[in-house]
Amino acid sequence: MSEKSIGRPSPILLGIGVAYVAILILLPMGMVFVEAFRRGPAEYLDIFAHSDTWSAIRLTLLVAAIAVPLNAVFGVAAAWAVTKFDFPGKGLLLTLIDLPFSVSPVISGLVWVLLFGASGWLAGPMASANVQILFAVPGLVLATLFITLPFVARELIPLMQEQGADEEEAAITLGAGGFRTFFMVTLPNIKWALLYGVLLCNARAMGEFGAVSVVSGHIRGQTNTLPLHVEILYNEYNFVGAFATATILAGLAIVTLVIKSGLEWRFADELSASRRH
């Protein structure tokens, strides 16, 4: 069913909307590219000659590649549990899912330091097992997992609540088991919301600064993700390098958006069919 427009928007309203987006989004984004190319393309491309840049790109993609699938699985499982079943502690689970949204990212990083730091609760066992959490990839992954935990679940819960459990019940009475019901009925019904959730989760995982900054230790070439690398370069007055690195992040975001739009265009029919009856 298509949404009908109720008429033309008033020019004032439209103007405010366009100006708002231009000032808050386009202007800063444009600045990034202007600053990155301030001294010409040669200097811009110079950052790609540094191994630190490549290691930051690799690390950022690695952390996202671990955190996003884990939180996608968790998000689907949590949304499934919360919307299709009743159980004690449901309210608590919902509150906990929202917690990372309301906690400052710095605190989200700090909790891992308190747990695994030199005098942290789990410092002893970790040291004896010879496992390095802080200032290493596991710490970055944990902090990113914590920060991006709500995205998929939050995207799915309202949709699955609206859809109810009717179709699943129908599938079961028709002889389908739990697995088939999930993969043939539930998953196709939520796949677009799941995709949006994953994209949001991914954007945040690659862009997260605060929490990751606390646990990273800023070791160049080892524990610097792209956002942290930008900060280091900026603090070293390497403005072109900082902005050039920032364009990589912007580029990753644009790639994500292009994938999303491409999928929407490719599956437009199915999308409109599955939205509602």
State the minimum distance, in angstroms, from the CB of residue 95 to other proteins.
23
State the minimum distance, in angstroms, from the CB of residue 178 to other proteins.
9
Nearer to other proteins, 8 or 277 (CB): 277
Q: Which residue has the tokens 């690799």?
A: 58
CA distance linking residue 211 with residue 140, whole number of Å: 8
Quick one: tokens of 272? 């409109």
- Quick check: 169 and 159 in contact, CB under 8 A? no
Nearest to 155 by CA among 188, 201, 105: 201
Nearer to other proteins, 163 or 238 (CB): 163
State the minimum distance, in angstroms, from the CB of residue 237 to other proteins.
55
Nearer to other proteins, 15 or 188 (CB): 188
State the minimum distance, in angstroms, from the CB of residue 174 to other proteins.
4
Q: Which SS3 state, helix, strand or coil, does residue 141 take?
A: helix
CA distance linking residue 32 with residue 244, whole number of Å: 8
State the minimum distance, in angstroms, from the CB of residue 3 to other proteins.
14
CA distance linking residue 139 with residue 223, whole number of Å: 10
Residues in the site for other proteins, rule: CB under 8 A?
1, 166-167, 169-177, 180, 184-185, 188-189, 270, 272-274, 276-277
Nearer to other proteins, 39 or 180 (CB): 180
Nearest to 153 by CA among 100, 220, 111: 100
Nearer to other proteins, 98 or 169 (CB): 169
Nearer to other proteins, 174 or 254 (CB): 174
CA distance linking residue 144 with residue 99, whole number of Å: 14
CA distance linking residue 98 with residue 150, whole number of Å: 6
Q: Which SS3 state, helix, strand or coil, does residue 18 take?
A: helix
CA distance linking residue 70 with residue 64, whole number of Å: 10
State the minimum distance, in angstroms, from the CB of residue 180 to other proteins.
5
